[in-house]
Amino acid sequence: MATPSTASNSGDTLPWTRAYPAGMRWDAELPVKPVQQMLDEAVERWPERSAVEFMGQVITYRELGAAVERAAKGLQDLGVKPGVHVGLYLPNTPHYPIAFFAVLKAGGTVVNYSPLDAERVLAHKIEDSRTDILVTLDLVNLYPQMARLLDNSRLKTLVVGSLGDYGAMGDKVQAQLQGAGQIAPVPVDDRHVRFTDLLRSKGAHKTYPLGDLAEEIVVLQYTGGTTGLPKGAMLTHANLTSASAQYYESTKGDPPILAEGTERFLVVLPLFHIFALSAAMLLGVRLGAALVLHTRFDVDAVMNELAASRISVFPGVPTMYTAILSHPKAKEMDLRSLKFCGSGGAPLPVEVEQRFFELTGCHLNEGWGMTETSPVGTFTPARGLRKAGSCGMPLPQVRIKLVSLDDPSKDVTAFGEAGELCIKGPNVMKGYWNNPKATAESMTADGYFRSGDVAKMDSDGYLYIVDRTKDMLLCGGYNVYPRVLEEAVYEHPSVAEVCVIGIPDEYRGQSPKAFVKLKEGAPELTLDELKSFLKNRLGKHEMIGALEIRAELPKTPVGKLSKKDLVDEEARKRAA
């Protein structure tokens, strides 16, 4: 074996293949197919098996498949066909998987929208993605935002469902929400269609032939940027079916961890997020698993579900696992049904992984990925060599190399040397929607996607994320861009200068802290006042967590605000 001083970790040498667990192959075949075909195959193989479970209701694969077929016909009656983009602005309810697969069967393209987004970000996504039809629910935290945009954007039609459409006691739940003021009134007109009406559609939908699966787009998945304008990653049928195959391959070995037609997934991660879409819904359908949907993460509900429903697969983010470990009844509950837990979205503390294994007998398997990679990239073997602090090794058919931080045209060739992580594989996006310049800037000359993450690789091919080249925070598993926050804070009439950095947060990983210089003569500004001002300007995941008012902010010799000085100051405070 080569020594760290001379060995190469460029994408062509594949050092990680030597450390692959028994029964796994890096060159495993990854079947590529239309994404909707995965559902068709599950319906054919497991028609009476539970596909979706929600608030006490069980929907079998046969029932799910039939609902998707009817909804696809209903969407086509609304004008959905190839080239038409349909937005999904939904929580984790059965509406999501039905609408997702129905859009694809109707010939359309899905655009995911996050309920965490500020309204002006939603407006940008509608115009940029060319969304004409959007599916949402009549909840007060969803429908009113889109109703306003229906009058002020290119949106033509809203398909509106209700939480009470599903669940063993759906009518009772809907009445409770109505009584609590949580239901928004929805007009009856030609711009609104009830979701249940889609499911009453008669006749078969038209099937459109697909071209090259590496070119045909399934979903536009928006990801933030340092410029403040989110970009739509074009994820294709080949991307997403390759990713689900890569996830499945990572559970193989001797013996395999997961079995087709038997698993039970707890889906708490939001399906509008690429991690849940890919690692929960699509992988679950690929396996013929039961998808147990929760609309949000409530630790008591999750603990009860894990134990009572004998959940075997629970993808999550570190904050969720930390909350479980901190639950007062954690040691009293039987969580030993868990077989596979993938942790993503943020670095996983070593202590959390160790304590979770002691509690459940199931490892937390950390991986690295991005929206642009569907979002797979690396995995930590559930069995075999595990390295504390590492995000694992490249998944099957993924090539990773590191490039010089000073000269990206040069590869890093020594193990243990830091460089920008670059990735190539069938899971890497086609490019950014309607943004060839950003696409070109994100790629190396030899076709690798530049992640913006700084990493080191050891001689076994295990990667360690050590920094970021992009100005980005990870808050509770979500990417948060300080420049976006700064631009919003600058709109406050009292603010002269602002600088936002990330500070450690025991629960969320990082939390944004704003350092503000006020304009001369401006009144004092409190954190609560600033939060109130930012409420409609930032998403909930982006909200400023701490505020410090200063007479002056540190600057570089050329007069630029110096984030480095602020980061160093905060580090010294914590060390004192």
Q: How confident is the model at residue 382 (pLDDT cuts 50, 70, 90)?
A: confident
Alpha helices in 376-535 (DSSP H): 436-441, 482-490, 527-534
Q: Which residues contact 426 (CB under 8 A, 6 or more apart)?
A: 30, 32, 214, 238, 239, 242, 397
Residue 199 identity (one-letter amino acid):
L
Give percent of the chain with pLDDT exceeding 70.
96
Query: Which pLDDT does position 360 carry in this prediction?
Result: 97
- Which of 11-25, 316-330, 348-362, 496-510 bottoms out in mean pLDDT, i.e. has the lowest? 11-25
Q: H or E segment at 41?
A: helix 35-45
DSSP 457-470: E-TT--EEEEEESS
Q: Tokens 């991307």 identify what position?
A: 239
Query: Which pLDDT does position 11 carry in this prediction?
Result: 53
Residue 438 to residue 432: CA distance in whole angstroms: 7
Mean pLDDT of 210-233: 88
Query: Which pLDDT does position 3 carry in this prediction?
Result: 29
Mean pLDDT of 332-357: 89
pTM: 0.86
The C-alpha R_g of the chain, in whole angstroms, comes to: 24
Return the HEC string of 244-299. HHHHHHHCCCCCCCCCCCCCEEEECCCCCCHHHHHHHHHHHHHHCCEEEECCCCCH
Query: Which pLDDT does position 228 carry in this prediction?
Result: 61
Query: Which pLDDT does position 257 carry in this prediction?
Result: 95
Q: How confident is the model at residue 260 (pLDDT cuts 50, 70, 90)?
A: very high
Query: Which pLDDT does position 558 carry in this prediction?
Result: 53
Q: pLDDT tens-digit profile of 225-257?
A: 655 679 999 999 999 999 999 999 999 988 899
Query: Which pLDDT does position 225 carry in this prediction?
Result: 60
In the numeric block, which tokens belong to residue 288?
């013929």
Whether the Cβ atoms of residue 483 and residue 226 lie closer than 8 Å to each other: yes
Q: Give the residue from 155, 124, 161 showing the smallest Cα distance to 142.
A: 161
Whether the Cβ atoms of residue 117 and residue 110 lie closer than 8 Å to each other: no
In the numeric block, which tokens belong to residue 166?
């599903």
Element counts in the chain: helices (H) and strands (E): 17, 25
Per-chain mean pLDDT for the chain = 92
